Structure 1
Amino acid sequence: MGASFDGVGVNFAVFSAEAEAIELCIFSPDGRRELARIPLRERDGDIWHVYVAGLLPGTLYGWRARGPYRPEEGLRFNHAKLLLDPYARKVAGRFRWSDALFGYRIGAARADLGMDSRDSAFAMPKAVVTESDFSWGDDRPPRHPHDLSVNYETHVKGMTARHPGVDRKRRGTFLGLATQPVLDHLDRIGVTTVQLMPVQHHMSDRFLTEKGLVNYWGYQTIGFFAPDPRYLCDGEIWEFQTMVRRFHAAGIEVILDVVYNHTAEGSQLGPTLSFRGLDNRAYYRLAENPRYYIDDTGCGNTLNTGHPMVLRMVMDSLRYWVEVMHVDGFRFDLGTALARGPQGFDPQGRFLAALKQDPVLREVKLIAEPWDLGPGGYQLGAWPHPFMELNDRYRDDVRRFWKGDAGAISDLARRLTGSAERFDHGGRAATASVNFLASHDGFTLQDVVSYSKKSNWANGEENRDGHEPNHSDGMGAEGPTSNPAILEARARRKRAMLATLFLSQGTPMLLAGDETGNSQQGNNNAYAQDNPIAWVDWDRPEMELADFVGRLAEMRRAHPVLRQKLFLHAQARALDGKPDLDWRRADGAPPETGDWHDPEFRCLCLSLRLASETPAYSMSGDVLFAIFNSGGPQEVRLPDPPAGTLWRVILDSATAAQAPRVLAAATRSLTAPAEAVLVLDALSAAEPRENSPMPGTFPPATG
């Protein structure tokens, strides 16, 4: 499918079940002049194809399709519209918004029912013939196991646009992202996996460009195989491949946020750019009245992955990014829309079944955003193995606990233990829950502790857009402040929340900049802000906080009890008869039923051991005692340490940095500071060392 160069010429192939004729259009190198139209005479089933001898890589092309224009029947062919190849590996030029892009005449009384005959080629980008000849050398995927993974969501441009260590010519690009200062920073904070916001070719909505804004996030894909030119220095595919190779050499995986749930063509009133003009009834899910689209995405249309050729395109795209571009996995935006069947979400449906059996894709990491906007769209926990899922319940419940909301402590307990009520079924691992405090669509962590209300005025929607509720708190001021007491309180809460993230069962995910105190000035929907509002601020980074995150990552790696695949259900272990999970109040007693609903219950303690079902050969004596105190200073009764050991405090989030502190054998309690997390491990009493280089207590080594 698409354009394939064989050294002598190029074979072109495109799918359409209902077109009456298809033409290949060849353009001049600058894309301005159409040099030739070549009819596709050959057809195998619904695949049209032609071989053109003498063409070379770099040739610009597009499609035109003839057929009936009857929107009331779902048919929207318009030969005047140049169509982007769905399989384009590279795209040259950018969209120029024009009324000529639409299949109907804008402003007509009959709206989209009337046909527009203006040629749209001048306003369309062109597909480019490519060949894959990148030398990967000894590149190998890092393949970090789920239990050792620390994910980091970032935007290619936003991460480096203001980074002083990145060459100005490469800021905001794939090559800039893979420079040594960025790699060193990721190593410093313990990141194993970078999750890139959409990098496939996308476009900005017309209403945004008319307001001088852009679709910065990139969730309006129109080319599922092509890297977006905005992130390329010289417009070459090898730049993306070089980025991946450098990340792999640094031991970091690359996961792509992909948008196969809808396309940038929008509703029935949207432009005709590619899929709509090739075969509207195949590519999209249409309503009972086929003039209209089923919109389970909130973006005007829903891609029809139930159609064999559309499913093939999605699978071909995924395999292309793994086999040719060497990425390590995918995060599926609005994933429920992809997995819908005739009766709604279907965990055994075509798309998920295809992924699970594919010999290439079943080896990579798969993360679902487990919801869409259609009926029954919220499907957190319903996805089958091997999918991981973004857990928004985790985000909300942890924010609520540290904000001091009444009754949040029972929800915190569920999130600390991997949200078992959602995920413990079907042989799934506790690592299936991707835990996060903040993501691109919402407040940053800094803004969670700095703003009580969102401030999205820059988006031009009168602050009506954006996620609600945010479970945030300005803590005495709204936005920036110079008050040292408020600044210290905000810093303390951020450390407590980050400590909670790394102490929870599941897979932690950080939002880029949260480790350095990055703010979006209260904007919790910066999708249109390609400017300092959404870019990570490297001018005054809180590197002390970054080092704190690095210690948390080291602590997580050092203690298997923090990253278990098996769920904990307070069951006795055969090894020592101890429960794998033991909840306690500050006075040392187990919480009673009423405690879990007591608004004054603000200090939750627990002992963690390896799960009772852990195989005997993997069982160890690793034990941690953790204290989560969202109230004032609290005296906490300590459990007896394991025989032959002493308790050692390895984390106190009340301060950014501290050495480990071994407690005397006679110590029976300690004071937990206000709004803080404490973690104790058991150290052999034979040789207690105050300054032991125990993993998790000092900044990690770099390099």
Structure 2
Amino acid sequence: MESRPKVTPLVRPAARRSHVPPLGVHPTPDGGVDVAVAAAHADGVELCLVDVVDPDRDAHDPQRYAERRVVLDGPTYGVWHAHVPDVRPGQRYGFRVHGAWDPEAGQRHNPAKLLVDPYARGIVGDVAYGPETLGAVSTLVDGDGDGEDPGRWVAERYGAPDERDSLAFVPHSVVVASQPAPPPLSRPRVPWADTVVYEAHVRGLTMQHPDVPPELRGTYAGVAHPATIAHLQDLGVTTLELLPVHASTSEPWLAGRGLTNYWGYSTLGFFAPHAPYATRAAQDAGAAAVLDEVRGMVHLLHEAGIEVLLDVVYNHTCEGGDDGLHVAWRGLDNAGYYLHDGASPAALADVTGTGNSLDFRRPRVVQLALDSLRYWAEVVGVDGFRFDLAVTLGRGSHGFSPDHPFLVALQTDPVLSGLKLVAEPWDVGPGGWQTGQFPPPMAEWNDRFRDAARGFWLDAPRQGSHGRDMHGLRELTTRLAGSADLFGHSDPPLMRGPVASVNYVTAHDGFTLADLVAYDHKHNEANGEGNRDGSDHNLSWNHGVEGHAPDGEGDPDTTTEPWSAVVPLRRGSQRNLLATLLLSAGTPMLTAGDESGRTQGGNNNAYTQDDATTWLDWGWRTSDDTAAARDLYATTRFLLALRREHAALRADSFFLGTPRPGEDVPDLLWFTAEGTPMDRDAWNVAGRRTVQMLRHGPGDGDAHVLLVLNGALDDVPVTLAPAPEGTAWERVWSSTWDRPEPPADDEPEDVVLESLSVELFLGR
């Protein structure tokens, strides 16, 4: 006989309430809770209060739990609700939903399955990947046959409902007391023009940090530890962008192979923080303590002057396709939450590559995202969000629209419109590439910048080394100047400015900076997909030898051939890419570890690697064998200091090539290697790979900046552009220098730029 948790009889609320409370479960002063959940197509909904009655039993043993059920009133405009007395913070709960089981019409109500509250402020437990967590009857799909992959249970797409109770096999929602908002003046409010974004993973950032206590490593508290903050401040970072911290779970096929979705792009709850990133003490203390640790992290970062952005995934959930999990939205209102193709039988429309996409044509989906964003902004105190696959969030009945209600709400909401909002401006659906099309005040990841920088410094030289033509100068210079071609289209024109372009060369998804210059091909075997996953369009260059040198690419003077020739070239390429990123107009984003040469061994899709592959290695700070890493760090720090100190490197508005009001010199000029202005004919010279970019300081006393780039495979004599009146050029940095330390007698007039190099001059 199947074992089930103990269930007390159904209880109806003492009285109907005269209004519909806010969605979720919220404690009230009388010691009870107000409950509301959207399930528009359901025939009935029960609040299930779950108690642990035998804590010595396994977490997935049904005899561990007892269950009390309360029938909710409704539906009122699709919402089921009640006031339930005698429910305190810390109480576990979930929902059971009664209604039609008609998968061909998109309806998948199954009261045997306990469902997570989409508005839960806390979530405890994990998913047991078996037939109990699937809504329909299922079959076991064989794995690889060698014991490493035992296979996984797959629900029949239009099968009958599975009647096994899921209470012991799914996470439980937790009632969390209302939290006061953080002080309104605690936000650093860094201007966009001064912003430097640092993309990091909560766990990977500190898992190997020797100065962070072991019990804090890989946690929210570890991110806020003084040693971590000191690194960010010393480097010159203003804004920490964290990979997803919403509660998440792994895909069933990953769990079957003993892997996890390390990145966290598989959301289980849009309000609850991911509990495993909290300290063990906070997890043991309960959901409220986990939330407090997240709030404390944000507060300490704010005290250090560092903003916090969250990478948020509102485009899909952890439930996957029709054959996937049945743990929340699918059982509440499958047709109301998920995008369907409109056919009969109903089938999910997938524009995210995950099997399920949330339907932002539905008001409840838009409300869910906006309510979640406001919660993290007002209660947790974060400073902004990066929206994963943001095109999905702007899809209406006729595809993407910048006037989509969700995007209009972001522009006008009194809480959200004042935050930093960043779109990943694509998805995998029709018309999915929309870089430059999002409305202000949103910024966007600029993939054109990424490809231009990689193409100019890596792919073109790789082609040239095989005797092929080398191009890319016009594309790169457009990106250096702030990408007005992408972000200048607005009403009125040019209002977004170059800060709308979030410039990046690498991100969590793809090669690290060190791997970008060491691999021509991805090496993703550890991900378990036969190296089929990850992009094949990397625009990378191994400089002649695939992989890193056996000694970790230490001092090239002591490295055997061919490494003694290859390693210095790779270091120079890293510096060229960093200079392009950090000295361009726009908002730069660094990937954590690129400043010290972090490698993932050529894995360009390391989302399954929760180990030293993805964790930052902090040994470079002290080891005698890591001088190159310290040099790279010093270079990154120096370039960021230059950006911080010189206004000409922090453009807040687009360059026009004409004088600013009250000035008599153009804000931006381009020159040839011979020191003559770039005219139309000069721009059209095939194969041109050398250019000078002169940016005049925007105010009295501000230094002028001359950036000289040589992307040719040969050294090129350069006659420096005329210095503005009353100034002389001083060379302050060259990518040919291992460390940012110019020679004492360096007084340039006519210079020779080495092949594939960048030099920066200041006119004071």
Which TM-score bucket, shorter chain as reference? over 0.9
Match of 1:145 among 178, 184, 191: 191
Question: Residue 368 of structure 1: CA displacement?
Answer: 0.1
The correspondence for 2:760, drawn from 645, 656, 679, is: 679
What's the offset of the Cα at 1:540? Answer: 2.8
The answer as to whether partners of 1:163 and 1:171 remain within 8 angstroms in 2 is yes
Give me the whole-angstrom Cα distance separating, in 2, the residues matched to 1:452 and 1:621.
Answer: 42
Name the residue aligned to 2:489: 425
Aligned with 1:4 (options 8, 21, 26): 26
What's the secondary structure of 1:337's corresponding residue?
A: helix
Partner of 1:362: 417
Q: What is the aligned partner in structure 2 of residue 608 from structure 1?
A: 695
Shift of 1:662: 9.1
1:474 lines up with 2:542 in the alignment: yes
Query: What is the Cα deviation at residue 485 of structure 1?
Result: 3.0
* Aligned residue number for residue 669 of structure 2: 582
Q: What residue in structure 1 maps to residue 223 of structure 2?
A: 177
Aligned-pair Cα RMSD in Å: 2.0
Distance 2:440 2:529 in 1: 40
Contact 2:373/2:416, CA 8 A, preserved across alignment: yes
2:137 aligns to what SS in structure 1?
A: coil
Q: Which residue of 2 aligns with 1:249?
A: 303
- Distance in 2 between the 1:601 and 1:20 partners? 69
Q: How far apart in 1 are the matches of 2:387 and 2:235?
A: 25
Larger mean CA deviation between 39-48 and 645-654 belongs to: 39-48
Q: Deviations over 1:246-266 (max 9, x none)?
A: 110110000000000011111
| Equivalence for 2:127 | 95
- One-letter amino acid of the counterpart of residue 80, structure 2: W
Aligned twin of 1:538: 618
Indicate the SS of the match to 1:458.
helix
Within 1, Cα distance between the matches of 2:474 and 2:687?
A: 12
Alpha carbons of 1:178 and 1:425: their partners in 2 closer, same or farther (altered >3 Å)?
Answer: same
Q: Report the alpha carbon displacement of residue 555 of structure 1 after superposing the two structures with TM.
A: 0.8
Q: 1:333 aligns with which of 378, 382, 388?
A: 388
Contact kept in structure 1, 2:182 and 2:381, CA below 8 Å: no
Within the candidate set 86, 89, 110, 1:54 is matched to 86
Separation (CA, whole Å) in 1 of partners of 2:318 and 2:327: 8
Matched, 1:636 2:718: yes
Structure 1 residue identity aligned to 2:534: G
Change (3 A) 1:526 1:597: farther
Query: Is 1:347 equivalent to 2:402 in the alignment?
Result: yes
- What residue in structure 2 maps to residue 514 of structure 1? 594
CA distance in 2: counterparts of 1:643 and 1:408, whole angstroms: 32
Amino acid at match of 1:94: D
Paired residues, what number? Answer: 676
The offset of 1:610, in angstroms, is: 5.4
Displacement of 1:670 in angstroms is 1.6
Matches within 5 A, 1:416-455: 416-426=480-490, 427-455=495-523
Q: What stretches of structure 1 of length at least 5 have no aligned partner?
A: 612-617, 684-703
SS of 2:407's equivalent in the other structure is: helix
Measured in 1, the distance between the counterparts of 2:422 and 2:171 equals: 31
- How far 1:137 moved relative to its partner? 6.3
Question: What is the DSSP-based 3-state SS (H/G/I as helix, E as strand, rest coil) of the residue aligned with 1:540?
Answer: helix
* Contact map agreement 2:634 2:740 (CA 8 A) in 1: no
Task: Give the match for residue 77 of structure 1.
Answer: 109
Once structures 1 and 2 are overlaid, which stretch shifts more, 279-288 or 583-592? Answer: 583-592
- Structure-2 residue corresponding to 1:168: 214
Please, which of 270, 274, 277 is the counterpart of residue 328 of structure 2? 274
Contact 1:112 1:269 in 2 (8 A): no
Aligned residue identity for 1:28? D
The alpha carbon displacement at 1:243 in A equals: 0.6
In terms of mean alpha carbon deviation, does 140-149 or 273-282 score higher?
273-282
1:138 positional shift: 8.2
**Closer, same or farther: CA 136–652 of 1 in aligned 2, 3 Å:** same
Query: Quick check: 1:553 aligned with 2:640?
Result: yes
Secondary structure at the counterpart of residue 324 of structure 1: helix
Residue 408 (str. 1) matches residue 408 (str. 2) = no
Q: What's the secondary structure of 1:367's corresponding residue?
A: strand
Show CA shifts across 1:352-391 (max 9, x none): 0111111000110000000011100100001111010000
Contact 1:646 1:663 in 2 (8 A): no
Question: Per-residue displacement from partner, 1:69-121 (whole Å, max 9, x unpaired)?
Answer: 00111111011111000000000111111111111111399643322111111
Equivalent in the alignment of 1:22 = 45
CA offsets 1:183-236 (integer angstroms, 9 cap, x no match): 111111110000000110111001111111110111110200000111011222
Counterpart for residue 701 of structure 1:
none
Superposed CA deviations along residues 22-54 of structure 1, whole A, max 9, x for unmatched, are 001111145731321111135433221122222
Partner SS state of residue 526, structure 2:
helix
What CA deviation, in whole Å up to 9, does each residue of 1:480-536 have, x standing for no partner?
A: 214233222211111111011111110000000000100000000001111111111
Distance 1:116 1:138, change over 3 A: closer
Whole-Å Cα distance in 2 between the matches of residues 485 and 152 of structure 1? 32
Matched, 1:263 2:317: yes
- Say whether 1:33 aligns with 2:65: yes
SS at 2:565 equivalent:
helix
Please say if 1:525 is aligned against 2:605. Answer: yes
- Give the TM-score normalised by the residue count of structure 2: 0.85
User: Which digits, 9 at most, give the CA deviation of each residue in 1:402-444, with x for residues without a partner?
Assistant: 1261111111111101111111121211100000010011000
- 2:526 alignment counterpart: 458
Contact 1:319–1:361 (Cα < 8 Å) also in 2: yes
**1:412 alignment partner AA:** L
CA drift at 1:625: 1.1
Asked whether the equivalents of residues 650 and 661 of structure 1 are also in contact (C-alpha less than 8 Å), the reply is no
Q: In the TM superposition, what is the alpha-carbon distance from 1:649 to its structure 2 partner?
A: 1.1
Decide which moves more: 578-587 or 209-218. Answer: 578-587
1:387 to 442, 456, 475: 442
Deviation at 1:595, TM superposition (A): 4.8
Between the aligned residues of both structures, percent identity stands at 41
Q: Which runs of 5+ in 2 are unaligned?
A: 1-22, 140-153, 284-289, 461-469, 550-558, 622-628
Letter in structure 2 aligned against 1:262? H
- Cα distance change on mapping 1:515 and 1:40 into 2, 3 Å: same
The structure 2 residue matched to 1:499, chosen from 579, 584, 588, is 579
The amino acid that maps onto 1:4 is H
- TM-aligned CA deviation for residue 132 of structure 1: 3.6
Q: CA deviation at 1:664?
A: 9.0
Q: Specify the alignment match of 1:288 in structure 2.
A: 342
Note closer, same or farther for the CA distance 1:365–1:110 as it changes in structure 2 (3 Å cut): closer
1:220 aligns with 2:220: no
Q: What is the CA-CA distance between 1:140 and the residue it aligns to?
A: 0.4
3-state SS in 2 of match to 1:645: coil
Q: Does residue 237 of structure 1 match 2:291?
A: yes
For the residues of structure 1 that align with 2:735 and 2:155, how far apart are their CA atoms?
A: 64
**Partner in structure 2 of residue 690 of structure 1:** none
Indicate conservation of the 8 Å contact 1:267/1:292, yes or no.
no
* SS of corresponding position for 2:632: helix
The alpha carbon displacement at 1:658 in A equals: 4.0
Query: Does 349-358 or 439-448 show the bigger shift?
Result: 349-358
Aligned to 2:708: 627
User: TM-score scaled by structure 1?
Assistant: 0.93
Match of 1:193 in 2: 239
